């Protein structure tokens, strides 16, 4: 096989591989970064962490409710009573619907809020580690 034919064959193989990959990824965008949280995914216990330390746990309900202990006040200013899906993650809201904190979805089980202090707050599925 000469060089031009080999180059054409490699280009064709590359296009086929790319086409195959996009066909495989064409399914629903569930469980991906940048995708809103669904009520079924939200339900359960989540750990709030920052600086490598678990700070508290809260529970999200499928009906968009939030149960958060007072100890979460160190990480989450205000008293979250509800959660809402956003275009790229989710947000915790107070009793009057005001935004308390927004999280960007990094994976199915990790949401991150970038703070101006430089110390991010993470919301991770499940109870505290360790």
Query: Does the structure show a pLDDT above 80 at 62?
Result: yes
Average pLDDT over residues 102-123: 88
Q: If you average pLDDT over residues 74-80, what whole number do you get?
A: 84
**Residue 89 and residue 67: Cα distance in Å, rounded?**
19
pLDDT of residue 33: 65
Percentage of residues in the chain having pLDDT higher than 90: 42
Q: Are 66 and 108 part of one and the same domain? A: yes
- Residue 20 in any domain: the answer is yes
Whether 130 maps to a domain, the answer reads no
- Domain range for 3 is 1-30
Residue 10 reports pLDDT greater than 60: no
pLDDT at residue 34, rounded to an integer? 64
**Which residues in 23-61 are b (16+ Cβ under 10 Å) and which e?**
eeeeeeeeeeeebebeeebbeeebbbbbeeebbbbbebe
User: Do residues 126 and 109 touch, judged by C-beta distance below 8 A?
Assistant: yes
Are both 10 and 63 inside the same structural domain?
A: no
Tell me, yes or no, whether 62 and 99 share the same domain.
yes
Q: Is 88 exposed, middle or buried (0-12, 13-18, 19+ CB in 10 A)?
A: middle
Is the pLDDT score of 58 beyond 90? yes
């Amino acid at each position: 096989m000469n060089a031009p034919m080999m180059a054409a064959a490699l280009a064709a193989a590359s296009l086929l591989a790319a086409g195959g990959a996009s066909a495989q990824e064409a399914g629903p965008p569930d469980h991906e970064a940048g995708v809103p949280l669904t009520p079924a995914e939200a339900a359960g216990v989540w750990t709030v962490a920052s600086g490598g330390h678990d700070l508290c746990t809260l529970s999200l309900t499928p009906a968009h409710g939030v149960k958060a202990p007072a100890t979460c006040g160190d990480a989450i200013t205000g008293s979250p009573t509800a959660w809402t899906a956003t275009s790229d993650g989710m947000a915790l809201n107070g009793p009057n619907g005001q935004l308390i904190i927004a999280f960007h979805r990094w994976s199915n089980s990790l949401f991150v809020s970038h703070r101006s202090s430089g110390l991010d707050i993470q919301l991770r599925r499940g109870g505290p580690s360790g």
